[in-house]
Structure 1
Amino acid sequence: MIIGIAQVPMYWDVSANSAHACQLIEQFNYLDLIVFPELGVTGFHRGVADKNNLQQVDGAINTIRELCQQHGVSVMIGAPIMRGDKVFNSYVLIDASGRLTRQWDKVGLTPSEATFFTPGEHRQPVALNNQTVSAIMCREVDDLDWFFTESAGHDINLVVWPSYIGDRDVSASEGPNYYDNAATLAQRLKAVVIQCNWPETLNEGPSTDMHGSTVIGADGDSWFTLPAKQPCFGVVDLSKQECNVLPLSKLEASGSQEDKHCISI
């Protein structure tokens, strides 16, 4: 599979975030799969709870579904999904026919998320392009025993890790950090782990240090990472273990296909 990692700039409203996602889907429609970060439709910020944002989510997802069907590309993206009076921090898989084939609701919420979101329950994988794919959402990578139990009986090849992770979240002073746990996850499942992280924040301001999205091989070794704190788009060829990255500023300005190698770890 050839997979795009959309390490995208963040906006306050659904219309801007979803429009940028749609632009990238159209630009990179030749890929097998494009992955976006946690809450990629709305942005990950205090405005997620705004009713105007929530009311636009379904329309944004339907537009993305139409583009997936039109171009024959699959997409994984995060969004707050309402069911009755409950709101879930969800990550959805839309396949190349435009079908929403899986909705994973975040189980391991942070304390601040739990004030707004309802926790999910299960995490079942799904077949995609002859692969078995699952998702682990941000800090859920600290809940490996739960994830392994949910994954039992499935030969998972690829785990997508949508994230909102900054330096403050990965200190190893109190034990293994998120990236150590992600390496353990890859080794245990013998699966490739592809993280898609936000390059910036809105709540804390632009100076917050965010980690670059990272790809971890099935042996637990990091293959490469995208540049930290920089909006960019990585193209990962799993069969060749290669990644190229295009800064999104160039993409928006000229649509240039010029690329450069991402940073190896």
Structure 2
Amino acid sequence: MVGPLIVIAQLPMHWTLAENLREIEAAMCFAADEGAALCAFAELAVTGFHRGIVTEGVPQKVDPALQCIADWAAELELAVAVGAPSFTPAGRFNSHVLIDEHGAVPARVHKNGLTAPEATFFQAGTERPVATLAGLRCSAVICREIEDHAAVLAQLQDEAPDLLFWPGQMRPDPDKPPVEPWAHVQDAMRLARDMGAWIVQSNWPNALNRPEESALTGASAIVAPDGRLVAQLPVQGLGVGLVVLGDDTVRWVPLDAVHRTMQG
């Protein structure tokens, strides 16, 4: 069965929330012009994933930005999965925010499997909710959580999601032997097969804290429910990928063409 058109935003990371928000708006406008039903963004797409999150990742900046994205989603009739900090009485979370095509937020998936540096800033999540976006049951597996196979299966196998967003996993682990496909992509292939769900990665194409680590960033993967790697977007590519679930054809659009949608 052929599913909806999804736009995978592989956008440049900026130091400020305002710059990242402009990139998100441009990608959403482009996606709507193309007739997409969903637009997927990277881990902490709103703030950027860098040391500046200390000043950018605060409620007075993040919450209005998310409201803008929700308003655009409603105006464009476009569902969105976007990374941003969330703030609750229990703490601050690294979340993937699921916004439906009406601008409502039916779920926020808080990252469960934090790295040690992340745990100094974020609280770990304990659940993995599922919400319906564009008629698909969706959840998220954030960055290195793709390795937590048993834990993710236990949380989701009774929920029967159609689509798992996979924001992050910026590059192959340099401490692991090089393999093809990369080890973390193989993890995604196994999880997709065992879940019977699509996995759509939305990765950053550049690193800011340590720019030298940008060499193998990007390359966002699309994995079918049978565990087959359908395609990967360009390494270090700045732009968006368009994929119709169930169709192995993936179209790549460079960033300058995405920006022209806003200029027009």
TM-score (norm 1): 0.90
Does 2:225 align with 1:222? no
Amino acid at match of 2:22: A
What is the deviation of 1:129?
2.9
Are the counterparts in 1 of residues 218 and 237 from structure 2 also a CA contact under 8 Å? no
Number of the residue aligned with 1:260? none
Tell me the distance in 2 between the aligned counterparts of 1:239 and 1:219. Answer: 11
Unaligned runs of 5+ in 2: none
User: For 1:35-184, what aligned pairs fall within 5 Å after superposition?
Assistant: 35-50=40-55, 54-84=59-89, 86-168=91-173, 171-172=176-177, 177-184=183-190
Q: 2:19 & 2:195 partners in 1: Cα distance?
A: 36
Counterpart-to-counterpart distance in 2, 1:120 and 1:53: 18
Distance 2:237 2:156 in 1: 33
| 1:52-97 residue CA offsets vs partner (Å, 9 max, x unmatched) | 7552100100001111111111000000112237210000011011
TM-superposed deviation, 1:170: 7.6
Residue of structure 2 in register with 1:3 after alignment: 6
- The equivalences for 1:24-43 within 5 A come to 24-29=27-32, 30-43=35-48
Q: How does 1:188-199 map to 2 (within 5 A)?
A: 188-199=194-205
**Higher RCO structure, 1 or 2 (CA under 8 Å, sep 6+):** 2
Paired residue secondary structure (1:50): helix
Q: What secondary structure is seen at the aligned counterpart in 2 of 1:220?
A: coil
Aligned to 2:206: 200
8 Å contact kept, 1:170–1:179: no
Change over 3 Å in CA distance of 1:214–1:96 after alignment to 2: same
What TM-score do the two structures reach when normalised by structure 2? 0.90
The CA distance in 1 between the partners of 2:58 and 2:203, in whole Å, is 21
Residue by residue over 1:21-63, the C-alpha shift from the partner in whole angstroms, topping out at 9 and shown as x without a partner, is 0121122212100000000000110111116755210010000
The two structures, once aligned, show a CA RMSD in angstroms of 2.0
Measure, in 2, the Cα distance between the counterparts of 1:125 and 1:85.
21
Alignment-derived partner of residue 261 in structure 1 = none
CA contact (8 A) 1:167 1:211 kept: no
Matched, 1:22 2:25: yes
Rounded to whole Å, the distance in 1 between the matches of 2:169 and 2:185 is 13
**Aligned AA (1:77):** V
Report the count of equivalent residues: 254
